Amino acid sequence: MMYYFCSPDPVTHNYFVKLAFDGTSYHGWQIQKNTAETVQATVNHAFTTILRETCFLNGCGRTDTGVHAREFFADLQVKGNNLQNDRERTLFKINRLLPEDIVILGIYDALPLASARFAATRRTYEYLISLRKDPFLNNKAWQIHDIPDLKKMQKAAERLLHHKDFAAFCRTGGGQKTTVCTIHHAEWVRTQDLYVFRITADRFLRNMVRALTGTMMDVGRGKLSLTDWDAVIRGRDRKKAGKSALACGLYLTRVEYPKDTFK
């Protein structure tokens, strides 16, 4: 099913912008009411400057302060023909203007009413946990000194596929109309000195992946049994779940859309 925003001006072109960013220096994707620096505001400014018309990119979701994205999409409506005439040249100019921690990976023609947020069918996140001090992973992973039981954490991840309601892992006051999500895949893997948690779902609640990660770490450390883990999920009480993992280890890695989203 395709989701849309309001009808555009007939001469407006709709694009999907694919980007990636290091979120360390930003207060998330979404523009804030205060003067905090955000990825959205930075990208809006770059597109507005280069295209010489007011540009506003609507993201596929919102990220918390310090969270990163290896793949992120935003829709953009443009009235001029700059992107139609010389796409590669314009992309080069925008990337040159953007700071080093944000890159535009591509600009694609999309259906006139397609929304980057509502048309997305699946999203995938990864959470990185470093098992030793690593200066190259500073602000890029949660660095710990005790090694939790990976097998127990994997069993906890597998059980996620048997649940639908994840209210226990939703930030209080997140404004969610429903706390029901369909998780398609969840696993823990070890790569050298990293534990990596990968999860794919049709949607995510605010703070959900960090809360899941932090609570599964309690399972791996023996603070919660697998029976306790199931009880936390069924209890739907955020206070019964563990603390959220640090924002710096979280990455949005993939956003999927129906094939007919793009021209």
Q: Would you please indicate which residues are annotated as catalytic (active-site) residues?
A: 64
Burial class (CB in 10 A: 0-12, 13-18, 19+), 117: middle
Report how far residue 106's alpha carbon sits from residue 97's, in angstroms, rounded to the nearest whole number: 15
Q: Which residues pair with 254 in a beta bridge?
A: 124
How far lies 3's CA from each of 73, 111, 120, 132, in Å? 15, 11, 9, 44
Is there a contact between 255 and 73 (Cβ–Cβ < 8 Å)? yes
Q: Map 208-239 to HEC letters.
A: HHHHHHHHHHHHHCCCCCHHHHHHHHHHCCHH
User: Which one-letter amino acid corresponds to residue 102?
Assistant: I
Q: Smallest Cα–Cα separation from 183: which of 205, 159, 201, 164?
A: 201
Q: Smallest Cα–Cα separation from 229: which of 244, 221, 237, 241?
A: 241
Q: Smallest Cα–Cα separation from 67: which of 30, 104, 36?
A: 30
**Which string of DSSP letters, residue by residue, matches 32-66?**
PSSS---HHHHHHHHHHHHHTS----EESS---TT
Report how far residue 211's alpha carbon sits from residue 242's, in angstroms, rounded to the nearest whole number: 7
Give me the residue label for tokens 């990163």. Answer: 68
